[in-house]
Amino acid sequence: MKKVREKVLLTLVLVVLMVSVPVFAIQTDIDIVKQRVVNELMKPVNDGQIEILVATIKEDGTWPGIDYQDFSREGFLHRIHANNMLLLARAYKTEHSKFYNDGSVKKSIELALTNWVSHVYISDNWWYNQIGIPNSLVSLMLVIGEELPEDLIEKAQPIIQKANIQAQGARPGGDRIKIAGIEAKNMLFLENRERFDTLIKVIEEEIKKVAWIGMTYGYGFRDQEGGFNSRKVGGRGIQYDYSFHHRGDGVNNTLSYGLGYADAFIEWACYVADTQYAFSNQKLEELIDYFLDGICKTAIYGQYPDPGAKNRSISRPNALKPYSATMAQKLFRISTYRKKELQEIIDIRKNKKRPTTAHATFFRHSEHFTFQRPDFFTSVRMYSTRTHNMEVPYNSEGLLNHYRGDGANHISVNGDEYYNIWPVYDYRKIPGTTTVQSAKMPVPEKIAKLGITDFVGAVTDGKYGAVAFDFKNQVDTLAARKSWFLFDHEYLCLGAGISSDKEKSSVATTLNQSLLRTKVTLSQNNITKEIDKGEKVFENVDWVFQDKVGYLFTKPTTIYIRNRPESGSWWRINKQANSPKTKVTLDVFSLWLDHGVQPKDASYEYIVVPATSVEKLERTNITKTLTVLSNTPYLQAVRHNTLGICQIIFYKAGEIRLTDHLTLRSDTPGIVMLKTNGRDIKEISVADPNRELGKMHLSLSAKIKKKGGTYGTLWDKEKGISTLSIEMPSGVEAGKSVTILF
């Protein structure tokens, strides 16, 4: 009997333990997550700033300098009020602050919060109502909420709860994940574990690729239900090429909304790591892929934002500041996936190391190409029938962005060549673009527009690439066939068919417009000289040098240089209430070619050599390295004689002689890159910018017998011709390059 009682007792103990362990684990895990969130909120405080806030708050809970009557999209400085409350709360809870547990600080918080809940300030910009302010207030609650009067907590809840996954702004993509995160923080504060569990799943499931909606000749996004009422993905989120679309316009948002999207997921991945709420390895790996292959490859050395990938945010001060290592460090800590690559990004961002990798990446769903070598970075931004050129100038930002999608080709060696240059910029001279030089810019309402050409794309094998842009500007009736051919130490830019019927205004192709950092040196009739500041035209120019970048011409060329101080203001390009109106003056370097008024079939050829010097340029014979094989509106082609690479753009079916022994014919439009070793072909890469071919057919005057799963070959001995039939990607892969190794 005694043994039976002992067995029963032991069984009861085990049952109690089995029941209690999960309860204990849930309690422990949610406490861990909450503490991590609070720890992250407790950032360092500036006691001097806190002293000013306490001294200047009024009895009605307002602060001077804030217009409490301006609720406009350009204004709503109430956000400063909300941030002030959080700053005070941090000081109150920071032990090493002299305001730790200070009664005057707590009183200031209560005064300011009482003012807010009494007025419930609503902005004309939905973002503040459903993201910005709820996030500030829930952060305030997590830091000091337990010490605030209950009536203030209750009155703050309806404002915080405007951030919920049923809210209008919680559309799939960048905003849904942020709003879910704010609601999850509120559930931690309210200790609503069931709802918290649901929200964590929502955040985790937001990490996924979405189908590109511009692939059906660009009309897909026009049929998508848009606006706040849409809960369809509608192409918003991570694309299959690792760019990011925030809206259904196809505009590249990787370094804006896409960055915030990744940051929100990483934030929660760290909060829930090693708890029952931890995200799956699959989702972490998908996010790391997007971070490394999307965000980092859209950034100069993975560190500085590519100016060409920025939209209206370019008009904000410090928009091009270098990224910190924080995101990479967090991912490195919570996953073992691609750790070597994450470590390199950490070293680049934190320890100022140069990258070791080179890449040529085409984000085909966003018509954006990036190219990196250890000592330089460049990019090309385009648009087509499948995408818009630029986002709308929401909130009166980016008011002069009309031409920034027209083949923008920024060049970076240091990474900061364009830092805060934008107030003084000539927005008719975007690097790489061909633009009508009208005396007056079009109105902001004409910035965002859908492309009208299909042939926009690039071929790449991951290391080298060629870019093609059949460019037509609807506003300025300007047309041009523009291309870029990129190699290890230089790249060549071609333009053909440049035509415009715009009266009175000349057309210019801008090679660069950047900060003036050094003396401008040029070679004219093989004589090297430094030039004085000002604006001047130079004839018979061989090359130009400024700030580690050389611009070479295949034949003596007439060029225009402006190297002088330029003035402007942030207010000129950004009408936000707190946009600085003070005059800004910076030294600026501009270099361009003038095609004249109403040009007909004009053209250009120039070579960019980054990371060089005057001494190197004086020793360079670039024509020995690069050969322009063709530059017409129908066929643009270049041969790199040292690398044995030929890059050819067929705007329509055609034939070209590449070497004395090799002729290439394409039966369709497309882009081809061949790597040769003497008479032997080592590799062929092809791409279809039109995104319409099932197969691409090539003919080569070389013997090729090898066959593969995605291509076939036929050797005609009598004609000495090999015919290749190459299967082209379709669906979300359309526009992607195919590479065949021999």
Q: What is the pLDDT of residue 226?
A: 53
C-alpha span between 91 and 46 (Å, rounded): 8
Average pLDDT over residues 542-551: 98
β-strand 584-597 against 549-568: which pairing, if any?
Answer: antiparallel
Superfamily name and number for 621-742: Polysaccharide lyase family 8-like, C-terminal (2.60.220.10)
Asked if pLDDT for residue 476 goes beyond 90, the answer is no
CA distances from 648 to 469, 670, 740 (A): 13, 8, 16
Sign of CA dihedral 12, 15, 20, 25: positive
Q: Do 401-620 and 621-742 agree at the fold level? A: no
pLDDT score of 224 more than 70: no
Query: Distance between CA 230 and CA 714 in Å, rounded?
Result: 52
* Per-residue pLDDT tens over the stretch 188-202: 999 999 999 999 999
CB atoms closer than 10 angstroms to residue 170: 23
Q: Which two tokens stand for residue 723?
A: 């015919």
Indicate whether this model's pTM tops 0.85: yes
Inter-CA distances, 664 with 125, 449, 540, 648, 723, Å: 56, 37, 34, 9, 10
Tens of pLDDT, residue by residue over 419-464, are 999 999 999 999 999 999 999 999 999 999 999 999 999 999 999 9
CA distance 351 to 465: 30
Q: How far apart are CA 693 and CA 684, in angstroms?
A: 17
Of 60-64, 708-712, 713-717, the range with the lowest mean pLDDT is 708-712
CB 417 within 8 A of CB 568: no
**Phi and psi torsions of 211, nearest 5°:** -70, 130
Q: Judge contact between 412 and 490, C-beta under 8 A.
A: no
Read off φ and ψ for residue 596, nearest 5 degrees: 85, 180
**pLDDT band per the 50, 70, 90 thresholds, residue 227:** low
Neighbours of 442 (CB within 10 A): 13
Report residue 552 CA to chain centroid gap.
29
HEC letters along 677-721: ECCEEEEEEEECCCCCCCEEEEEECCCCCCCECCEEEEEECCCCE
Distance CA 263, CA 518 (A): 37
Q: Which residue has the higher pLDDT, 3 or 433?
A: 433
Specify the amino acid at residue 256.
S
Mean pLDDT estimate for the chain: 93
What's the pLDDT band for 222 if we cut at 50, 70, 90? low
User: What is the model's pLDDT at position 710?
Assistant: 87
CATH of 401-620, one of 3.40.190.10, 3.40.350.10, 2.120.10.30, 2.70.98.10: 2.70.98.10
Helices 133-144, 2-41: crossing angle, 10 deg rounding:
130
Where do the structural domains in the chain lie, given as residue ranges? 401-620, 621-742
Distance (Å, whole) CA 655 – CA 58: 78
pLDDT in tens, 6-51: 443 444 444 344 444 444 444 589 999 999 999 999 989 999 999 9
The rounded distance, in Å, linking the Cα atoms of 629 and 519 is 34
